[in-house]
Structure 1
């Protein structure tokens, strides 16, 4: 993603770039990745400046405090469950799919998909983080 390379601090970021990062963060949230895992994934796979990811994440977190409190609690529960069952055990995610530990300690869902069946990149409306100041995908 050439438009997202380089230092965010030294250049303007387009609304389209912010939307793209927002969508990619939502994909990571659906997979119950940690903030650090999402920042790394976007940097490594999508060549997105980690500072931009952190800025968008912070704005989402600021405007969706309740969602993220629940999200972090779920991450903690999943980690505790995984530790109590051993590192090779599968755990069930709140969305009903199975989670399996990866070699790096993160989890991936059993369906392997981060997009919904209709191709939408949005989380369910009841649990989707949103921002009034970050443009949304139409």
Structure 2
């Protein structure tokens, strides 16, 4: 029994940094009303309108961060109805992309984000 507990503890310690490095739920709505997640060292707010995905980027104090230098993509949907949307710098603090088809309300979105400093992360909305 001790060996199993020790093995479980070792596995947890080995995997914890990878798990914690991924985006985690911010628990709040963003300044513009979208779902907010922490990813790649910033707060990312996802907004979806018909075919357009917008990711607003904020610092820890929810102040806008310039989107220039950020890049990313979003995997929209699951199962048979998945599409990848490339995101590019749009307005001041936003990355935007257009899906090939309308994004259903409540569809799962997985965001991959790369910051200008090279830090990367993933968040699920």
Per the shorter chain, which TM-score range?
Answer: 0.3 to 0.5
TM-score by length of 2: 0.33
Greater C-alpha radius of gyration? 2
More RCO (CA 8 Å, sep 6+): 1
Higher strand share: 2
TM-score by length of 1: 0.31
